[in-house]
Amino acid sequence: MMKKYVLATVLLGGFIGTLFLAAKYLGVEPDRLNYEYFPDMARNFAYKAQSPNPFFRNGRTEQRPVEGAIARGFMPLHYGLSEEEAKRAGRELRNPFKSDSTANLERGKRVYEIYCGTCHGAAGDGKGLVVQHGYPAPPSLLLENARAIEDGRMFYIITYGFKNMPAYGSQVAHDDRWYVINFIRQLQENQQ
């Protein structure tokens, strides 16, 4: 038993000693780059961002996207700011998400609580906290008028704002805008 421990200690000591020797001869110094093992990932042939690049006429590595390119998930809207344009959005834009998905409705509820309920109230009645502190009250989302607003027009209102309501296009993601509309529809249905 004792012999085993002695052997293990000697072997371990030898191993550590070898490491120290290796470090000495390979010149490992923590404050400068030394022996590189497998450098392929750190040093590859690709040009680094913002470095000069002889392959392109303008000499830059980063190139502009091709004219008309659209980033995934960022479908642009082409609407101006007017009542006519809001109407056109109401006619043209279609809600791509069905209201019967529980996950989407849950998401819509969350978005509503964060971005809309502050003014429109948790129940949609237009008595949110911000309104209680003096912000112009929106009309209740449960009224006939709001029920008649097409999904597309609501999407337009959220994106661009509407009279006293600020625009939320830059805060609320594209899909979230549709989810929140589905949630508002649910609020309306529950309040016949």
C-beta neighbour count of 89 within 10 angstroms: 22
Which range binds ligand HEC by CB under 6 A, 14-22, 35-43, 62-70, 113-121? 113-121
Of the two residues 60 and 174, which places its CB atom closer to ligand HEC in the complex? Answer: 174
Look-up of token digits 């509309």? 181
Q: Does the footprint of ligand HEC cover residue 122 (CB under 6 A)? A: no
Residue with smaller CB distance to ligand HEC, 34 or 164: 164
- The contact mask relative to ligand HEC for 152-191 (x = CB under 6 A, - = no) is --x--xx---xxxxx-x---x-------x-----------
Task: Report how far residue 94's alpha carbon sits from residue 176's, in angstroms, rounded to the nearest whole number.
Answer: 14
Please list, in sequence order, all residues whose beta carbon lies within 8 angstroms of the beta carbon of residue 120, skipping any fewer than 6 positions away.
Answer: 112, 126, 128, 138, 141
Q: How many Å from the N-terminal Cα to the C-terminal Cα in the chain?
A: 84
Give 2 or 148: the residue with its C-beta nearer to ligand HEC: 148
Separation between Cα atoms, residue 80 and residue 77, nearest integer Å: 9
User: In which residue are the tokens 């809001």 written?
Assistant: 86
Q: Is 18 in the site for ligand HEC (CB under 6 A)?
A: no
Residues near ligand HEC, by CB under 6 A:
115-116, 118-120, 130, 135-136, 138-139, 145-146, 149, 154, 157-158, 162-166, 168, 172, 180
